[in-house]
């Protein structure tokens, strides 16, 4: 791997799995201590299956959750089963970064007692403003969504990748995306829709945030299956002059 990081889109369907994609899941890899380190960013419904097209599940080193809506985290329940009941024996816990309630919410989702919950399979770590995760320095910034939700700024070497998570328009997103080499931004809504505030972005709003942040490349994600991709692209062109594309499952980007 010659780039600082490689991003693989495992799933990019917004809000629920679509016919061609699981919900949100991104694999971010970088060289670390003589091998490739694998960080999963979000693990939405359906993603654990598609993930096996791109990596052995045993090779996942850590998980980062933007927030606890099911389309971003619920396949951690399935990953728990894989780690706990694997025929080769239980696997040592790996770090899972996320909102403060992550351990309790996932235990509840699987109908487990809160202790131990999934703590023997995952080492739950609430987001701090910054943390070192293998080769990645990750800054987590609260954004504008109905639940505790974070945008993530991930740096390795001199390169920077930023993921919006789910968010409505906010200047905080511009700050966290400042000068990013690649900005993976949600574009769930269309300008022609009757969109509630403080939930999601349109392509035009994603493009506006990306323009103000001065990002190098814009990648759009989290389009629900009912949304016309060409409308999102047309919306985005009204506010963003640079290179952008709507991501597809299986796409890889060297950053
Ligand atoms: Zn979502
Ligand atoms: Zn959400």
Q: Write out pLDDT tens, residues 98-146.
A: 999 999 999 999 999 999 999 999 999 999 999 999 999 999 999 999 9
- Six-digit token string for 93: 């816990």
Q: Rounded to the nearest whole angstrom, what is the distance from the C-alpha of residue 87 to the centroid of ligand 1?
A: 33
Please indicate, yes or no, if residue 136 is contained in any of the structural domains. Answer: yes
Ligand that lies nearest to the alpha carbon of residue 69, given by its number in the listed order:
2
Mean pLDDT of the chain: 97
Ligand that lies nearest to the alpha carbon of residue 72, given by its number in the listed order:
1
Res. 79: pLDDT tops 80? yes
Ligand that lies nearest to the alpha carbon of residue 12, given by its number in the listed order:
1
What is the SS3 assignment for 106? helix
Cβ atoms 102, 73 nearer than 8 A = yes
Q: Which residues of 166-197 are buried (b: 16+ CB within 10 A; e: fewer)?
A: bbbbbeebbebbeebbbbbbbbbbbeeeeeee
In tens, the pLDDT along 229-249 reads: 999 999 999 999 999 999 999
Q: Rounded to the nearest whole angstrom, what is the distance from the C-alpha of residue 42 to the centroid of ligand 1?
A: 10
In this structure, the dihedral spanned by the alpha carbons of residues 34, 75, 228 and 239, taken in order and rounded to 10 degrees, is: -50
Ligand that lies nearest to the alpha carbon of residue 15, given by its number in the listed order:
1
> Based on the structure, what is the number of domains in the chain?
1
Q: At what angle do helices 203-213 and 229-237 cross, to 10 degrees?
A: 40
* Alpha-carbon distance values, 2 to 31, 39, 165 (Å): 9, 18, 27
* Alpha-carbon distance values, 230 to 43, 150, 215, 237 (Å): 26, 27, 22, 11
In tens, the pLDDT along 218-227 reads: 999 999 999 9
Percent of the chain, pLDDT > 70?
Answer: 99
Please indicate, yes or no, if residue 27 is contained in any of the structural domains. Answer: yes
What predicted TM-score, i.e. pTM, was given to this entire model?
0.98
- Six-digit token string for 192: 């022609």
Q: Rounded to the nearest whole angstrom, what is the distance from the C-alpha of residue 208 to the centroid of ligand 2?
A: 20
pLDDT value for 150: 99
Ligand that lies nearest to the alpha carbon of residue 13, given by its number in the listed order:
1
Q: Rounded to the nearest whole angstrom, what is the distance from the C-alpha of residue 75 to the centroid of ligand 1?
A: 13
In tens, the pLDDT along 198-222 reads: 999 999 999 999 999 999 999 999 9
Q: Rounded to the nearest whole angstrom, what is the distance from the C-alpha of residue 89 to the centroid of ligand 1?
A: 33
Q: Rounded to the nearest whole angstrom, what is the distance from the C-alpha of residue 187 to the centroid of ligand 1?
A: 10
Q: Rounded to the nearest whole angstrom, what is the distance from the C-alpha of residue 186 to the centroid of ligand 1?
A: 9
Residues with CB under 5 A from ligand 2 (ion): 69, 166
d(CA 86, CA 111): 20
Q: Rounded to the nearest whole angstrom, what is the distance from the C-alpha of residue 73 to the centroid of ligand 2?
A: 10
Please indicate, yes or no, if residue 67 is contained in any of the structural domains. Answer: yes
d(CA 133, CA 87): 28
Ligand that lies nearest to the alpha carbon of residue 11, given by its number in the listed order:
1
3 pLDDT band, cuts 50/70/90, is confident
In tens, the pLDDT along 41-59 reads: 999 999 999 999 999 999 9
Q: Rounded to the nearest whole angstrom, what is the distance from the C-alpha of residue 99 to the centroid of ligand 1?
A: 15
What is the SS3 assignment for 83? helix
Res. 1: pLDDT tops 50? no
- Six-digit token string for 114: 């809160």
Please indicate, yes or no, if residue 1 is contained in any of the structural domains. Answer: no
Element (H, E) at 168: none
Range of the domain at 54: 6-254
Res. 2: pLDDT tops 60? no
In tens, the pLDDT along 21-36 reads: 999 999 999 999 999 9
User: The domain that contains 183 carries what CATH number?
Assistant: 3.60.15.10
Res. 255: pLDDT tops 80? yes
The dihedral through the CA atoms of 96, 99, 103, 108 has a sign that is negative
The dihedral through the CA atoms of 231, 240, 204, 98 has a sign that is positive
Please indicate, yes or no, if residue 154 is contained in any of the structural domains. Answer: yes
Q: Rounded to the nearest whole angstrom, what is the distance from the C-alpha of residue 188 to the centroid of ligand 1?
A: 8
């Amino acid at each position: 791997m010659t780039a600082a990081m490689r991003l693989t889109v495992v799933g990019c369907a917004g809000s629920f799995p679509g016919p061609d994609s699981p919900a949100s899941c991104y694999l971010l890899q970088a060289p670390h201590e003589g091998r490739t380190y694998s960080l999963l960013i979000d693990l939405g419904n359906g993603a654990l299956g598609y993930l096996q097209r791109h990596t052995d599940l045993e090779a996942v080193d850590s998980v980062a959750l933007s927030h606890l809506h099911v389309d971003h985290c619920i396949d951690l329940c399935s990953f728990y089963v894989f780690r706990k009941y694997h025929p080769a024996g239980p696997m040592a816990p790996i770090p899972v970064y996320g909102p403060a309630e992550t351990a309790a919410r996932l235990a509840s989702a699987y109908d487990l007692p809160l202790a131990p919950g999934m703590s023997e399979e995952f080492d739950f770590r609430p987001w701090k403003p910054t943390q070192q995760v293998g080769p990645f320095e990750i800054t987590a910034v609260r954004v504008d969504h109905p639940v505790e939700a974070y945008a993530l700024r991930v740096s390795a070497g001199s390169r920077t990748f930023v993921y919006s998570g789910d968010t409505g328009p906010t200047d905080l997103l511009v700050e966290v995306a400042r000068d990013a080499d690649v900005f993976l931004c949600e574009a769930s809504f269309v300008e022609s829709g009757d969109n509630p505030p403080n939930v999601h972005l349109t392509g035009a709003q994603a493009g506006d945030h990306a323009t103000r942040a001065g990002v190098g490349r814009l990648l759009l994600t989290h389009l629900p299956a009912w949304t016309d991709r060409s409308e999102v692209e047309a919306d985005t062109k009204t506010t963003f002059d640079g290179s952008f594309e709507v991501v597809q499952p299986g796409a890889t980007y060297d950053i």
